[in-house]
Amino acid sequence: MNRIEQRFAALRSAGRKGLVIYIGAGDPDLESTRQLALAFDAAGVDVLELGVPFSDPLADGIVNQLAAQRGLESGTTPPRVLETVSAIRKESQIPIVLYIYFNLLHRVGLEKFIESCARAGVDGLLVLDLPPEESANYEALMARSGLSPIYLIAPTTPDERIALIAPRARGFIYYVSREGVTGMQAEVSKSIGSAIARIRAHSALPVAVGFGISNPEQARQVAADSEAIVVGSAVVNRIAKLGRAPQMVSEVAAFVKTLSDAIHP
């Protein structure tokens, strides 16, 4: 088992829910990313999702689009993200997933990129725009390197497609709780429970629910139906407001701790 699988097995044994936190790598710079990762580990985060900056992030709302832009402006590239993961690994074993678009893997070369991820200490990849029908070689290379391919399932995904996607995932399945792009919402979807039941008919993997969770109350509400929650834009928005302020890491970590406390009894 890699770190993701180990963490969810430990959570299951303890009867606890998981907290996945997304941030844009290199926002505002990669040293801040390293510091945030360590602070999140201390705050109770179970999986860290690092968005690799890309010029055309189609699945992202404005908050995460701007984070990607700031990451590009700070000189963040895929090799530098992996260097940062290696630096995190010197002090932390927090499970790490890269949230990435396929162009970046293709540019480096699929086999080379996946092997580089494994050497750096990455545990999984969430490739936003790689359809499962075209991922056989990707999945084989991921399995060989011990990495988890994380797949998305949406409210609009029909049952027959869930039956195709769910068995191919490893680590956990990411359920997108609403249609559209990433972003904060005033309230969470009412259909999460029934959607997760549809997914569980095809896979025993943990289901992490994301897109729109913005505060501890929403975190607690969604965690009641799922094995984990994913919070991104609400964290990224705080990073954007604080920027390079000396208190940025501590204040963002304090907010993340409120989410952890809400779902970790």
pLDDT digits (tens, 9 = 90+) for 49-66: 999 999 998 888 899 999
Active site (catalytic) residues = 49, 60
Whether 183 has a pLDDT exceeding 50, the answer reads no
Comparing CA positions, the residue from 164, 145, 174 lying closest to residue 47 is 174
Whether 187 has a pLDDT exceeding 80, the answer reads no
67 vs 232: CA distance, rounded Å: 11
pLDDT at residue 265, as a whole number: 73
248 vs 36: CA distance, rounded Å: 9
For the chain, which domains are there? 18-263 (3.20.20.70)
pLDDT at residue 134, as a whole number: 93
Stated pTM of the model:
0.94
Please give the span between the terminal C-alpha atoms of the chain, in angstroms, as a whole number: 26
Peptide bond into 216 cis (omega under 30): no
Whether 120 has a pLDDT exceeding 80, the answer reads yes
Amino acid, single-letter form, for residue 32: S
